Structure 1
Amino acid sequence: MAELKDITPHLSVAAEQAQRDGRQRRQLRTFIPELVQLERMLAEAPDSVRTRVVTRVQVRDLTLPVYRTDLGSDSPDAPVVLFVGGVHGLERIGSQVVMAWLASVIARLRWDAQLQDLLSKVRITLLPILNPGGMYLNQRANPGGVDLMRNSPIAAQGRSTFMLGGQRLSPRLPWYTGDPEQGMEPENQALSRVIEELLPGRPFSLALDCHSGFGWQDQIWFPYAYRRRPMRRIDSVMALKLIWEQSYPNHNYVFEPQSAHYLTHGDLWDYFYKQINRKGQGTFIPLTLEMGSWRWVRKRPRQLLRLDGFFNPLAPHRHQRVLRSHLVLMDFLVQAAVSHEHWLPTGDQSVLLREAAMMHWYREA
C-alpha cells in the first residue's frame, strides 16, 4: 500500500499532463490545422529532410513552435533558396502554398533522380508558418499585436500611406510596428538568425515570402518598400524577370517594386536586403508573392461575411487551383538559383539591364 501511495501522485500528475496535451492537440486541430498537417508531413519525411524548431511562441495557454526545414546541399558555396509563409496569421494560403510545394518535393524525393541531383547543388530552407500565434488567433499580427512585416528597424523615406504604411499608436489597431526600443519580435528575430546563418558568403541567394493581398492579379514585389529609388542590384531583378517571362510567357504575375504601390515603415525584406548587401558578398534577391484575393471575393461574394474570406480562397476547387498554380514559379526559382551563373548579369550587360529597369519601373521617380 505504501508503494501504491507513493506512485499515485505521479500517476495523477501524468494523467493531468496527458489531458493538457490532448486538449492542446484538439485546440491545434481546431485553430491551426496547417501546423498539424506540417508536423505530420515532417514526421513522415525521409531523413534528408531536416527539421528543427527555431523559436517557440506563447499564446494563451499554448506554446507553439516555429519550424524550420532544410534540404539539399550542405556546401557553404551552394546557392540558397528561402521560402517563407504565414507571416500574417490571417493569410493562411501563404503557408499552404509553401507546404504544398514541400509536400510535392518530399513525394518526388522517393523516385525523382533529377530532383535529387538538383538538390545536391542548392540549399533550400523553409519556414512555412512564421506566425503560428497570429494564425491561432485568426489575426494578421502576432500575439503581441505587432505586424511582423512592419517590425524591422527601418523608416520610410517619404510619406507613407496613413496606417497601412505602419503605425505606432496602438497594438489594437492594424499595421502596428511595435516599440522600436524593444527590438524586433521573437518571430522576426528567429528569421533573422536563419538568414544570418545561411546567406552571408553565398554566391547567390533568393527568398520568396508568400502572402495574399487585395488585388486582381498575383504580384511579385521586390525591395524597396521604404523608398522610391531602386535597390543596388536592380539589374539582377530585371534579369530574373526576363528569364522567367522567356521561359513561361503565358504567366499571370506582375513584377513590381513595392514602392510602386505605397511606402511602408519596417519592411522585413528591405531590412534583410540591406543587411546582406552591406557585407558585399554575392547577390541576394528577396521577393514577396502577393496573391490577388479580390478575384476570390468577386467570384464568391459571401466570403466577405468571414474575416478569413478576405484573404483566402474558400471554395474547394479554387483553393486547389491556387495551391498548384504557384508550384511552377517555386520550381523555377530553385532552378534559377542553381544556374545563376548563366543569367546573372555582369559588365556591360549589367549596365544595360539597370537602365532597362530604370525605364520600366522608375521612370516617374
Structure 2
Amino acid sequence: MRTYRLPELEDLPRLITEGGPHLSARTACQIEVGAHRFDVPVITLGNPAPDVPAVGFFGGIHGLERIGAEVVMSYLHSLVQRLKWDRLLHTQLEGLRMVFMPLVNPGGLWLGTRANPQGVDLMRNAPVDAVEPVPFLVGGQRWSAALPWYRGPLGAPMQLESAALCQVVEQELLGRPFSLALDCHSGFGVQDRIWFPLAHTRAPMPHLSEVFALHTIFEQTHAHHRYVFEPQSLQYLAHGDLWDHLYLQAQQQHPEQVFLPLTLEMGSWLWVKKNPRQLFSRHGIFNPLIEHRQQRVLRRHAGLLDFMARASSSHALWRPAEQTRLAQHAQALNHWYGRELSRPASENPA
C-alpha cells in the first residue's frame, strides 16, 4: 500500500519551539502502523482557567483529507508568529483557551486512507445511532472494514484516535461557560460549508438560537463570504458522529453551559472541476494538488478560524439573552428548516 510523508508532524516541533513558553504540547495517544509509530499531538495556548471560554481546532480525522490538517496547522503557524509582536493577541489569550489537534488520524494520513489503520471511519465510530434512516454505506455500516464508512464492531470501545479526541474535548472544552469546536474536512460538493449538529436526527439542536446568533454576526462581519452555513442533517444523516456524541454528552453533563461543535466541509470537487486530472487520484479528489490553489485555500479559511476564536472570546456580547432566545429559535427554524415554531425543540434548550 502506498504511504505518504507527514510534514505536519515534522513541522510541529519547530512550531512548538518557536512558541516558547506560550505553547504547551502533549501526546493524546500513539498509533502504530507496522514498524512506524505516530503521536497524536495536542497543542494548547491561552488561559487554562476553567471559567474562561475555549475554542478547539481539529483536522486530519480522515486520512485522505490532508487539507483539513493543513488548514489547522497554517492557522497555528500564524498564531505562533503573531505571538512575537501582536499585543492584541496576547490580550485575547488572557481570557481564552485555544486547543489544536491538527492530526487526529496520522495512521490514515500515512496510509492515504479515509479510515484509520484498523479500517474504521472515525466519524462513524461514536456510540450514537441515527433515529431516522441513513443513506446506504455513507451513513455508516458495520458489515466490513473492507467497505468504506465502517463503524467498527458493535459494542466495541471507540478507536484510540476517537477516544483521544473525546478525552481532549472533555478536558479542555466541555464544562466551560462557552466553548466552540471547528473540525476541518473536505470532499463534499463544490461549495465550502459550515455544518452544525445534529447528524443522527433531523430534529433541530437545542442550541439553535446560539448557532443562529453566531451565523448572524458572521454574516454581518464577513459580508462577501461564500460559505453555506447549515445543519448537517439537511444534507444527510449518519450513525456514529463524534460531534453528536460530544454535544449530547455536554447536554447531559453540563446543561447550563454552551458547547457548539461545527464542521468546515471544504468543497473539494471545485478543485477537481478546475483540474480534472485529480479525479484519477484518490488523494486528489479531496485536496488541492496544485500549489497556488492550496495556498489560496489556506488563505481563504484563515479568516474563518480567526473569526471562531474571536467569537468564542467575545461570546457574552453576541449570545442571545434569555428573553430573546425563543424569538431567535423561531427565526432559525424558519431560516434553515422552512418552518416556524412557537416553542424550541427542547422545553429547556439552555
| TM-score, structure 1 normalization | 0.90
Of the three residues 108, 118, 122, the one matched with 1:134 is 108
Equivalent residue number for residue 312 of structure 1: 287
Deviation at 1:317, TM superposition (A): 0.6
Deviations 1:53-107 (A, max 9, x none): 1100011111110000000012111101010000000000000000000000000
Of the three residues 181, 189, 201, the one matched with 2:163 is 189
Q: Is 1:177 aligned with 2:151?
A: yes
Equivalent residue number for residue 221 of structure 2: 247
Kindly indicate whether the alpha-carbon contact (under 8 Å) linking 1:199 and 1:276 is maintained by their aligned counterparts in 2.
Answer: no
| Bigger Cα Rg | 1
Aligned sequence identity (%): 49
SS at structure 2 position matched to 1:155: coil
Q: Is 1:115 aligned with 2:86?
A: no
Kindly indicate whether the alpha-carbon contact (under 8 Å) linking 2:180 and 2:261 is maintained by their aligned counterparts in 1.
Answer: yes
Kindly indicate whether the alpha-carbon contact (under 8 Å) linking 2:333 and 2:339 is maintained by their aligned counterparts in 1.
Answer: no
Equivalent residue number for residue 18 of structure 1: none
The amino acid that maps onto 1:110 is K
Deviations 1:171-214 (A, max 9, x none): 01100001132121100111111122123331100000000022
Q: Is 1:237 aligned with 2:187?
A: no
Whole-Å Cα distance in 1 between the matches of residues 152 and 339 of structure 2?
Answer: 33
The amino acid that maps onto 2:252 is R
Q: Is 1:272 aligned with 2:246?
A: yes
SS at structure 2 position matched to 1:106: helix
Deviation at 1:31, TM superposition (A): 2.1
Whole-Å Cα distance in 1 between the matches of residues 141 and 158 of structure 2?
Answer: 15
Kindly indicate whether the alpha-carbon contact (under 8 Å) linking 1:46 and 1:106 is maintained by their aligned counterparts in 2.
Answer: no
Kindly indicate whether the alpha-carbon contact (under 8 Å) linking 1:81 and 1:337 is maintained by their aligned counterparts in 2.
Answer: yes
Q: Is 1:295 aligned with 2:277?
A: no
Equivalent residue number for residue 325 of structure 1: 300
Whole-Å Cα distance in 2 between the matches of residues 301 and 185 of structure 1?
Answer: 35
Whole-Å Cα distance in 2 between the matches of residues 347 and 251 of structure 1?
Answer: 29
Q: How does 1:1-40 map to 2 (within 5 A)?
A: 31-40=5-14
Q: How does 1:150-161 map to 2 (within 5 A)?
A: 150-161=124-135
Whole-Å Cα distance in 1 between the matches of residues 221 and 248 of structure 2?
Answer: 30
Stretch of structure 1 that moved more, 345-354 or 282-291: 345-354
Whole-Å Cα distance in 2 between the matches of residues 146 and 326 of structure 1?
Answer: 28
How many residues are aligned here? 338
Give the gaps of 5 or more residues in structure 2. 341-350
Q: Is 1:81 aligned with 2:77?
A: no
Whole-Å Cα distance in 2 between the matches of residues 50 and 305 of structure 1?
Answer: 41
Deviation at 1:268, TM superposition (A): 0.6
The amino acid that maps onto 1:52 is R
Backbone CA RMSD of aligned residues: 1.4
Deviations 1:133-153 (A, max 9, x none): 000000000000000000000
Q: Is 1:97 aligned with 2:61?
A: no
Equivalent residue number for residue 140 of structure 2: 166
SS at structure 2 position matched to 1:208: strand
SS at structure 2 position matched to 1:308: coil
The amino acid that maps onto 2:296 is R
Deviation at 1:364, TM superposition (A): 6.7
Equivalent residue number for residue 16 of structure 1: none
Give the structure with the higher percent helix.
Answer: 1
Kindly indicate whether the alpha-carbon contact (under 8 Å) linking 2:142 and 2:154 is maintained by their aligned counterparts in 1.
Answer: no
Kindly indicate whether the alpha-carbon contact (under 8 Å) linking 1:150 and 1:265 is maintained by their aligned counterparts in 2.
Answer: yes
SS at structure 2 position matched to 1:180: coil
**Deviation beyond 6 Å, 4+ runs, structure 1:** none
Of the three residues 193, 196, 206, the one matched with 1:219 is 193
Distance verdict in 2 for CA 1:299–1:200, change over 3 Å: closer
Give the gaps of 5 or more residues in structure 1. 1-26
Whole-Å Cα distance in 2 between the matches of residues 281 and 350 of structure 1?
Answer: 14
Equivalent residue number for residue 80 of structure 2: 106
Deviations 1:320-344 (A, max 9, x none): 0001111111111111111111110
Whole-Å Cα distance in 1 between the matches of residues 128 and 339 of structure 2?
Answer: 24
Equivalent residue number for residue 348 of structure 2: none
Deviation at 1:264, TM superposition (A): 0.3
Whole-Å Cα distance in 2 between the matches of residues 295 and 185 of structure 1?
Answer: 32
